[in-house]
Every structure is written in C-alpha cells, then in structure tokens.
Structure 1
Amino acid sequence: MKKNIFVANWKMNLTVAETKNLAEKLGQSLRSFKNDKTEIILCPAFTALDDLCTVLRKENPADLKIGAQDVFWEEKGAFTGEISAKMLKEVDCRYVIVGHSERRKNLGETDEMVNKKVKILLENDLVPIVCVGETFLERQKGLRDVIVARQTEAALRDVKLFGNKKIIIAYEPVWVIGTGQAVEPEDAEHSHRMIREALMENFPADVLEKHFQIIYGGSVDSKNIKDFVDRENIDGVLVGGASLKVEEFVKMIKQLA
C-alpha cells in the first residue's frame, strides 16, 4: 500500500539556525508517531540542506525525508547560482520540487525547463515533485483542465520509468497559493482525475499505479487536510506556510496516521 505524501515546502522563510531548530522540535514532537502511513518530506532552503542532513542523521525516529526546492538540468558546469542533482544527493536529498508556480511566475520557468529537470532527477534516482496548476484568469476562461493536462504532459515528455523510479505530481492552483484560501476538495478531486487521465494517455495502467502519486497543494492546514487526503484521487499534500509552525505541523501529520 502506498503511503500518503506530506511535503513541507519552507520556501525562502527560514535561516539555517531556524531550520535546525524547527527540524529538532519536529523530531521531538513526532518521536512517538508511528510513521507507517505517511512519507514526510522537508524542503528547506539550499543553504540549510547540509545542516538538516546532519540533524536527521543524528536522530530521526519519525523517518523524516529531505527534499530540495529546485535543481538544474545539467550535471555540472558554468551555471552560476544553480545546483545539481548530484550535489543534492550528497546531502541525503531524495525528493526535489520542480515547476512550482512561484518559479514559473517570478523566474520564467517553462514546461520545457521542467521537463529537463524531471529527466536529470530520474537519471540520478531522485523523485521529482512536479507542480502543475492554472491561474485565476485561465480558470475564469474555462481552461483549467486544458492547462493542467498540458503542463502534465509537457513535464513528462519522453520520460521513461522503470525499476523503483517514481514521480509525484502536485496540483497547485496558482490563484490560491499563499492566500489562505484553499479550493473546495471536490474541485481538487476533479483536477486530480484530469491529471490521472492525462497520465493514462502516455503511460500504461501498471506504470501509472507503480510509479506515480498525485498530491494537492494550496493553503493546506490542519483544518482542511483531511478533506483532501480522504479523496480517492488525492495521495497527499504539499504544504507551505502551515508547515512552518511545529504545533500545526504535528496536527496535520497526526490526521494522516
């Protein structure tokens, strides 16, 4: 049985010291938590990855995993400011977010870039967390399903899956990110079905079942998390601001137990 996915995206919010402090408190608070149903992934800033790795190597009873917020699509070279998949693996990264709406909006990240990032991650046995989602204008125009399907298909163009390779698709409607206002669970469920149908156009059913999970992101907190994860087509959540608070984080995790 697949585990629920819980991705904590800490964005550009915490210093190294704050990241260590939060991780240590989470470890203590989740010490007695039997983590057999949920994969918990912490995605700090790049500067904190090494220190987070050190903290979790010392003691990690909740089996917290490390993720990164981005990657570059080349193995090495003259790419100022970028980070490679190999560098991320060195600090125990297992998961990497790509195509987040904030990068698409603020940094001009395209579907083609996301596709290259997915491929380099899979080549290095890392799990891409591929973000897709429509803007408010696209939603108003009735283009939600078209946009989500197009982004999904473009991100996975020419991708081959075998062995234990895995991909997580995160549906994050752009217009709710950071607003504190989530979509209705029924709407999220609909978009997840559309993503699943787009995947079925390109991958056999057995590959889809073995290698993919689809999660929801967008103003998730302890008050609504259960409404999402109880849906048939929603395999977990991508959480932003609510994951920065220890008590709120623990409340959410315990609802997934």
Structure 2
Amino acid sequence: MGSPQTWVGTSWKMNKTLAEARTFVDVVTASPPPAGLQPFVLPPHTALAAVRDRLPDNSPYLLGAQNAHWGPEGAGTGEISMRMAKDAGARLIEMGHSERRESFGETDETVALKAAAALDHDLVPLICVGEPRSVREAGEAPTFIAAQVRAALSRVAAERIGQVIVAYEPIWAIGTAGQPATPEQIAPVMAVIAETVDGHGRGSAALALLYGGGVNADNAAAILGDPHTDGLFVGRAGWSPEGFLRLLDLAAAATGAGSSFVTN
C-alpha cells in the first residue's frame, strides 16, 4: 500500500434528507474510528453544510462533495463551484464516476478540468475510473483504465500527484445489478493504475488508490489484501451507520489498524 493510512469512504449518491444525514453522523461519530484509518463521507450537496456542522471539532472524518464545476463562478445552472463546495465544508471532490459520465456528460476532458480546479482550491480530487463489461471481456481493461488515468491527470502538475486520489470502480461491478469483482480481477488493474500514476508523477505516489464496486462485508478484507489498494470507496454498503461502522471494523482488522484514532 502506498498510503500510510487505509481510506474507507462512502458516497450517499442521491439519498438522505437533512434529518437522515444528521442521524448518520451522530451514530457514526459516537465512538472514534480505529487508528490508521481515514474515513470519509460524500453527502449530496443539500446535506454538506449540515454534516459539516454536525461533525465534532477536529473530527477524523473527512467530508467530500460528489461533484463540482471547474469554473470559478457564473452561469452554471444547477452546478456548484469548487469554492462553493469548499465553503460548505468539502475537502474532497469526486469526479469521473461512471454515472456522471453516462448520464450527465462527464468526459475525460471535464474530469481533467475538475481535477486541476480542485487542486487550485486546495481540495483533493477523488478521480473515478472504470471500464464497461465489453472492455473487460475483450481483455482491454488495463489499457482502457491507463488511458482514463492519464487523461484525468493531464492538467495536474507532477509535483502535485501526492494530493490526488484515484478510485477504480469497474462499471460492471457497480449497483444492484453489478457482479462483485474478485481480488484476482482487481489486482492487475490496480497495479496498472499505480504504474500510470507513478509515471505521471515521476515516481511520486498518489495520496491513495482506492477500490469501489460491489464492496461488501464479505469481500472487503480480501480486496484490502492487494498491495496497491489503499482503501475502499463504497456506495450502498456504507449508507447505514451500522454498515459504515462495520466496514471500518473490517478494514481495521484486515490492515492491523489500532483500536483508537489518533489525529495528526
């Protein structure tokens, strides 16, 4: 693993009212996460400030936004800027998720623009990459993913690669209709991502390389056994407080994390 911490995060996608978001925070933060873990949560934009205000002071939980525009401000109906996301409490910005690419016109170029804009605002780009089933079945997943990573980092200076997170989420493994990937399917692609990122950063590792897509309590430990995987980025498995806490416990056990969190 390249990161000294194991990252465990969840995107709530289009879920949770303000009351539900506050309840999640209250339950999850009732006890500190194990040392060695970096937990993070990506609420919908409507709940960002509410979650920020509910987190205890100096909370180890990082807050992120599921999307933000690369433009500083202006006529972007329905969008929010990086500055606005940061003002609402976000420290991470997700970009490039397959749902955004398929349904909302996200492209390799807009992901690159967002990555650069996030860094300009001292935010961490959380770049999602993933191949469709047809690419996987054709044996072209490593080539496809390497191209996505290179495109996403095309506007990122080599010296800033250590501020970027890349999450591998194969499209065929995502959602209720997805088929969870096996560690044997994940490992070669994670190695390609690590090699591609290191090449862009001239040997500098990313902040973290994460895996997401069909992660659950049954396969989380095995996925974390991969040497290039620094953590997990999950959807529905982390939507309930109990589910998220279970994933933190599993990650701690799988990586030998301690029993109490120590802030930096």
CA positional deviation for 1:162: 3.7
CA positional deviation for 1:230: 1.8
Cross-structure match for 2:24: 22
The alignment status of 1:113 with 2:110, answered yes or no, reads: yes
TM-score by length of 2: 0.89
Give me the whole-angstrom Cα distance separating, in 1, the residues matched to 2:211 and 2:102: 19
**Alignment partner for residue 174 of structure 1, among 160, 171, 175?**
171
**Alignment partner for residue 246 of structure 1, among 241, 244, 247?**
241
Structure 2: unaligned runs, 5 residues or longer: 253-264
Give me the whole-angstrom Cα distance separating, in 2, the residues matched to 1:63 and 1:167: 19
SS in 1 for 2:78: coil
Cross-structure match for 1:228: 223
Offset from partner CA, 1:51-89 (integer Å, 9 cap, x none): 001101xx2686211011011011111111111111111
**Alignment partner for residue 100 of structure 2, among 85, 100, 103?**
103
CA positional deviation for 1:227: 0.8
8 Å CA contact retained: 2:161, 2:207: no
SS in 1 for 2:200: coil
Rate the CA distance shift 1:124–1:165 in 2: closer, same or farther, 3 A: farther
Give me the whole-angstrom Cα distance separating, in 1, the residues matched to 2:10 and 2:131: 21
Give me the whole-angstrom Cα distance separating, in 2, the residues matched to 1:137 and 1:238: 23
Cross-structure match for 1:256: 251
8 Å CA contact retained: 1:71, 1:117: yes
Cross-structure match for 2:262: none
Equivalent positions of 1:155-174 (< 5 A) are 155-162=152-159, 166-174=163-171
The alignment status of 1:136 with 2:117, answered yes or no, reads: no
SS in 1 for 2:10: strand
**Alignment partner for residue 195 of structure 1, among 188, 193, 196?**
193
8 Å CA contact retained: 1:37, 1:256: no
SS in 1 for 2:47: helix
Residue type of the alignment partner of 1:41:
F
Give me the whole-angstrom Cα distance separating, in 2, the residues matched to 1:2 and 1:164: 16
The alignment status of 1:219 with 2:214, answered yes or no, reads: yes
Structure 1: unaligned runs, 5 residues or longer: none
Cross-structure match for 2:11: 9
Cross-structure match for 1:91: 88
Rate the CA distance shift 1:164–1:53 in 2: closer, same or farther, 3 A: farther
8 Å CA contact retained: 1:97, 1:131: yes
State the aligned residue count.
Answer: 249
Rate the CA distance shift 1:233–1:23 in 2: closer, same or farther, 3 A: same
Give me the whole-angstrom Cα distance separating, in 1, the residues matched to 2:198 and 2:37: 25
8 Å CA contact retained: 2:158, 2:202: no
Rate the CA distance shift 1:112–1:19 in 2: closer, same or farther, 3 A: same
Higher relative contact order (CA 8 A, sep 6+): 2
